[in-house]
Chain A
């Protein structure tokens, strides 16, 4: 079955450590996204990529980095520069060919806790 896989589901890190969240999709989608969700809040866009080897900052990119070396993969690194990294992280993808009405498909998310 096609879909988006995020791993791990739960992640614990010590403050000051960088951590990388995995996102893999086998939907052959061009565009991929990373969102952050805090309790009681909506989703905020961190980074997005519409094509391999290209990505753009979203609304809250500070303290995060990404790469898009392969179409299927869009890993997110939470660096020590991110002041409040504890959150729920959601990866999504969409086809860019008919982007007007194509919904985002989401992974199941990674819950990151930094202490």
Chain B
């Protein structure tokens, strides 16, 4: 079974600065996808970015980018130019390509953006 680890304590970041959220995972399967979601205080889960295990380049999506290091089994999310609306919980998740389509989640990182 896949395991996702997010261990950073809550983070405070200054508005307009960048923040990196750590995510490590553990699987023996070489084929998988990694996802990041944002959960604001209202509770909905918002999809941010996806990285496939065979993708040659790091994924980017607007202000979000993924620092994917396959050998180290890490997929850190970088948020550039933080905005007050970025204050939320951020969850890393993984799905095995040839599994049962289940998405396994880490416990999340709390980010608070301060003006």
Contacts and interface: CB of A to CB of B under 8 A. Distances in A.
Interface of A: 31, 33, 35, 40-45, 48, 50, 56, 58, 88, 90, 92, 94, 96, 99-101, 103-109, 111
29 contacts: A31-B101, A33-B102, A41-B107, A41-B108, A42-B105, A42-B107, A43-B91, A44-B105, A45-B103, A45-B104, A48-B100, A48-B101, A50-B100, A50-B101, A88-B43, A92-B45, A96-B101, A99-B95, A99-B101, A100-B52, A103-B35, A103-B50, A104-B45, A104-B47, A106-B44, A106-B45, A106-B46, A108-B44, A109-B43
B105 A108 contact: no
Contacts of B37: 106
B64 to A, nearest CB: 13
B97 interface: yes
Given A88-B43, A100-B33, A104-B47, A42 B108 contact: yes
Contacts of A96: 101
A92 B91 CA distance: 15
B42 interface: yes
A108 B107 contact: no
Query: A-B pairs with the 6 shortest C-beta distances?
Result: A106-B45, A42-B105, A103-B47, A42-B107, A43-B105, A109-B43
